[in-house]
Amino acid sequence: MLRLVAASAAAGVPAATILDAWAEDSRGGQGTRLERAARHLRQGATASEAATRVPGLIQDDHATALTFGERIGLLGPVVHAALAGDDLLDPTPRRGLQVAIRYLGVMVVLFLLSCGFFVVRIFPQFRKILDDFGADEPRPLTLLIGGLTWLNHYWWTVGVVLMPVVIVRLFPGVWRAFTRPLARQRRITAAIDALSVADACGRPIPEAAGALADCQADPAIARRLRKAAAPGPLGHHLAAAGFLAAAEADAIDSAGGDRPAALERLAAARRNRSRRRLIAFGDAVGACVVFTMGGLVLLQALAVMSLVCSLIESLS
């Protein structure tokens, strides 16, 4: 949506026309949301108003950028800065994390299906053979059957685990409200970017910070921005609001006429740190997926092999 607004402004094409064309190529709920947004635009609503009236159309950060840009009369620069900030965040680690989680889910389902087949069709026959030979049931087999029996009795836990996935797909607003505290650092970085654009275009920082506070979806960030809107050194007020460290605040206040560029560099450095943390988290999840799948396969293999060993000992 944000790229569409930028393309519409650059090409001089009404955004409603582009939204209608996009809706024809979209499926499911997104296509319906695009059609509703195009209808609001044709009725005279601004881009931010259309995005607000259609929940789930765009993410909160982009809605904030649209509203802030319209409010201070700098829609083009604010939108381009928001898009440039998004481009600095490489989507590859996030996609890798999503693939790892999906892979884990698929493999767990396959593991449960295969274990269910063994428990229902194979293990009863082996248990009968063990009873005939008077052999004890191997411990790994007991653990595996006990776990699957518990899952059979408490099958509803699977629905509880899958409930977040259903909420994400059907109720994006609920999911955004739940993950809002987790995305706070990213939104602080976006706020610094927006203030750098306003400062570079000659808008008074107290006025811009107050307008940005009114556009925020996160009440905590809105309160901090109102605190930073007081007249005086910008770096000092941003540090008092919890946006910057003391050293970063000193660098902003000592930048002089280069303050917009200093704010932009600071935002870029924060994005780089966020990207490194995301990559580290994705690598950790990938390692957890490998260890989890290895543990599941090992448990199943131990159950089968210990069963065979018990039969061999009984025959000997």
Cβ-count burial of 238 within 10 angstroms (0-12 exposed, 13-18 middle, 19+ buried)? buried
Same structural domain, 171 and 205 = no
Number of domains in the chain: 3
- 189 with 174, same domain? no
pLDDT of residue 95: 66
pLDDT at 64: 87
**Residue 230 is assigned to a structural domain of this protein:** yes
Give me Rg for the CA atoms of the chain.
Answer: 28
Q: Is residue 39 in a domain?
A: yes
- List per-block mean pLDDT (blocks of 10 residues) for the chain, which spans 316 residues: 65 67 66 78 80 77 85 84 66 63 73 74 75 74 75 73 68 66 79 89 89 87 87 86 87 87 88 80 76 78 78 72
Last residue of a domain, one of 206, 237, 254: 254
Instruction: Give the pLDDT of residue 97.
Output: 61
Q: Can you give the pTM of this predicted structure?
A: 0.67
121 in a structural domain = yes
The values of phi and psi at residue 310, to 5°, are: -65, -40
- Same domain (yes/no): 297, 150: yes
31 shares a domain with 172: no
| Residues 172 and 29 grouped into a single domain | no
Please report whether residue 79 resides in a domain.
Answer: no
How many residues in the chain? 316
Residue 108 lies in a domain: yes
Residue 138 lies in a domain: yes
User: 28: domain range?
Assistant: 1-58
Do 98 and 170 fall within a single domain?
Answer: yes
10/143 same-domain check: no
Domain co-membership, 100 together with 173: yes
**Amino acid 11: pLDDT:** 59
Residues 304 and 238 in one domain: no
Q: Is residue 239 part of a domain?
A: yes
245 and 102 in a single domain? The answer is no
Let me know whether 119 and 241 are in one domain. Answer: no
User: Where does a domain end: 58, 73, 102?
Assistant: 58
Q: Are 174 and 304 within one domain? A: yes
Whether residue 31 is contained in a domain is answered as: yes
Query: For position 179, what pLDDT does the model report?
Result: 64
- Interatomic CA distance for residues 114 and 107, integer angstroms: 10
